A and B are shown apart, each in its own frame.
Chain A
Amino acid sequence: MILVLVETDAQGVTLTSREALSFARTLAERLGDQPVEAVATGPLPHPDGVLDHLAEQGVTMLHHADDERLAAYGGAAWAAAVVDAASSARLVIGSGTPRGMEVLAHVATRLDCLMAANVIAVEETDPLTVSRQVMGGGVFERMRLGGEVAVISVAGHAIDAVPAARPSTPAVRTYAPTLTDADLLTRVVRTEQAGGDDTSALTGAKVVVGAGRGAGSAEGFDDLLELKDLLGGALGVSRVVTSLGWRPHHEQVGQTGSRISPDLYIACGISGAIQHWAGCQSARKILAINTDPDAPMVTKAHYAVIGDLHEIVPAINAELRRRLG
């Protein structure tokens, strides 16, 4: 059995968790039709949506640790619930989100087994060998996962969430996880919405307008913000921009910021260093606006405009206003 930790939201199963389910299903077929089961922790915001998504992904069973004490997130507590459901699991798989990584690291430690982080593909099934991103995705590592059980986190947006050929009717097993006082010690005690100071707008945006050193100064963002508003998107910035204090850290896209997967990423004045590329490479389309036609961001982009963003972005804004009326 392959057990997949699924994270949930108001729609059902999150996109990155559905990607992990698709990864698990493909691997299960290669391993000889292992069943794929899912585990979810705490009260579900939208149970029907969760079951719909699990059916779409061909999941045979949902293990639901329905315990109020798991409503507030905690890495150790969630991991305890996952381990409770993993007794016959050959693999425990989740998505490479911050929570996914934390819970899976706990699970791997509790199961005393190996964990491969940021996996993008299975190279071989016997012995199980995976390919994973290292150096922020600038290099791939082939890693052997020996042992009776192993843990895998799937790199976000590295593979698509593809529905199963035949949808399933997942059985639901509700269970009471064994939680110790120590497990409950590291749960969230409160969540503070500091005036839009979170990353969900950025990670969920269909269009992201990105800005790098080429913005020039903290005052150089007005046109970029207008473009973002005209397109109904979000602003994302490179690490240089936050390091210089031009914009707050929660807007940072990259290896040490948010990883985004918009339909369109407009990278303005961004050279495209590995640190940044790690966060934006999953964009469906990239438009680079840069003075340097040889910048990595330009050569890797789908579309480019060569020149100064401070001349080009206002012109795009004007054209958009004209057409949008």
Chain B
Amino acid sequence: MTDVLVCIKRIPETSSQVMLSDDGMSVDARHVGHTVSAHEEAAVEIAIQLADASGGSATVLTLGPADAVEQLRDAVAVGCTRAVHIEADSEAFGPADVATAIADFVRGEDFGLVLVGNDAADTGDFQVGVRLAYALGRPVVTGISSVALDGDTITARGAGPDGDEVFELPSPAIIAIQEGGVTPRYPSIVGRMKAKKLPVETIATQVSPMTYRLGLTSPPEQPSTVEVLGEGPDAAKAVVDMLVGIGVVSS
């Protein structure tokens, strides 16, 4: 039986254009929805599968503002049975601060496995999982897309430069999940009902965060310089001429 903790982060849902706040210190998320990264959706799915397979439980945790409860409930709706909210201004927390705050919670618990996303889709720091592992004195692997448990042995698999790389590590451990190994499930009606009712455990953190962000800027708007080679299949000749011109095809 393995109890699994999966850590997620509420982030603005952005697809094509990102608006910045007036002070240039954060993303203006007033007019967009929120989500978690694709890696974390996969991590939630893996947590639920491992808990089911081992007869353990899946707990979801986030560090974030009050509204981040929405993302905790989404994870409960698909099968997590406990939700923990470290209420804090996540914008002010660097990866070391987040890791310290999560470690403070994990020390008082008995999780055989802690899952995080490989990197947050917004800040892309790639560090929370590794820093958390050192804070707890546990092994860590990153870039993992599938996980299997056999007693206290964890088999983790992820894409490497020469094929799938397999790691074997003892529980308890930290694993940073990369999407692609599992298909996240959709919530059922029953799941949504459970998610509404489940009380969220809200805890405070003693961590005083340090921010190293001086500001955000949007990449300079480049005027389009696209050369339209034509419309429809008639453009094929112009396309192949271009391919020859740039040396991709030798004439």
Cβ–Cβ contact A144 & B230, under 8 A: no
Cβ–Cβ contact A320 & B127, under 8 A: no
Q: Contact size class for B?
A: 35 or more
A289-313 residues with Cβ-Cβ distance < 8 A to B are 293, 296, 298-308, 311-312
Cβ–Cβ contact A288 & B249, under 8 A: no
Q: How far is the CB of A316 from chain B (nearest CB, A)?
A: 5
Cβ–Cβ contact B126 & A105, under 8 A: yes
B61 interface residue per 8 A CB criterion: no
Cβ–Cβ contact B139 & A138, under 8 A: no
Of B45-53, B158-166, B197-205, the segment with at least 4 beta carbons within 8 Å of chain A is B158-166
**Chain A residues with Cβ under 8 A from B207's Cβ?**
none
Cβ–Cβ contact B143 & A118, under 8 A: no
Q: How far is the CB of B26 from chain A (nearest CB, A)?
A: 10
Cβ–Cβ contact A186 & B141, under 8 A: yes
Cβ–Cβ contact A307 & B235, under 8 A: yes
CA distance A58 to B43 in the complex (A): 43
Q: Is the interface of A mostly helix, strand, loop or mixed?
A: mixed
**Chain A residues with Cβ under 8 A from B18's Cβ?**
135, 138-139, 274
Nearest residue (CB) in A for B158 is A98
Q: How far is the CB of B183 from chain A (nearest CB, A)?
A: 8
Count residues of A near B (Cβ-Cβ below 8 Å).
93
A219 interface residue per 8 A CB criterion: no
B65 interface residue per 8 A CB criterion: no
A176 interface residue per 8 A CB criterion: no
**Chain B residues with Cβ under 8 A from A318's Cβ?**
236
Cβ–Cβ contact A311 & B233, under 8 A: yes
A146 interface residue per 8 A CB criterion: yes
Given A102-B126, A136-B124, A274-B15, does the pair A188, B160 have CB atoms closer than 8 Å? yes
**Chain A residues with Cβ under 8 A from B229's Cβ?**
287, 303-305
Number of A-B contacts (CB under 8 A): 251
B71 interface residue per 8 A CB criterion: no
B57 interface residue per 8 A CB criterion: no
Cβ–Cβ contact B246 & A256, under 8 A: no
Cβ–Cβ contact A101 & B248, under 8 A: no
CA distance A187 to B183 in the complex (A): 27
Cβ–Cβ contact B127 & A108, under 8 A: yes
Cβ–Cβ contact A145 & B212, under 8 A: yes
CA distance A303 to B222 in the complex (A): 15
The digit string for B106-131, where 1 denotes a CB below 8 A from any CB of A, is 00000000000001011111110111
**Chain B residues with Cβ under 8 A from A134's Cβ?**
122-124, 216
Cβ–Cβ contact A312 & B159, under 8 A: no
Given A115-B125, A249-B179, A288-B226, does the pair A194, B164 have CB atoms closer than 8 Å? yes
Q: List 16 A-B contacts (CB under 8 A).
A: A101-B119, A101-B126, A114-B96, A135-B122, A142-B217, A143-B212, A143-B214, A186-B139, A191-B164, A239-B38, A256-B121, A273-B16, A303-B226, A305-B238, A311-B233, A314-B233
Query: Which A residues are closer than 8 A to B by beta carbons?
Result: 9, 73, 75-76, 98-99, 101-102, 105-106, 108-110, 114-115, 117-118, 129, 133-146, 153, 182, 185-194, 197-200, 206-207, 231, 239, 242, 245, 249-250, 252, 255-257, 263-264, 271-275, 285, 287-288, 293, 296, 298-308, 311-312, 314-316, 318-320, 323-324
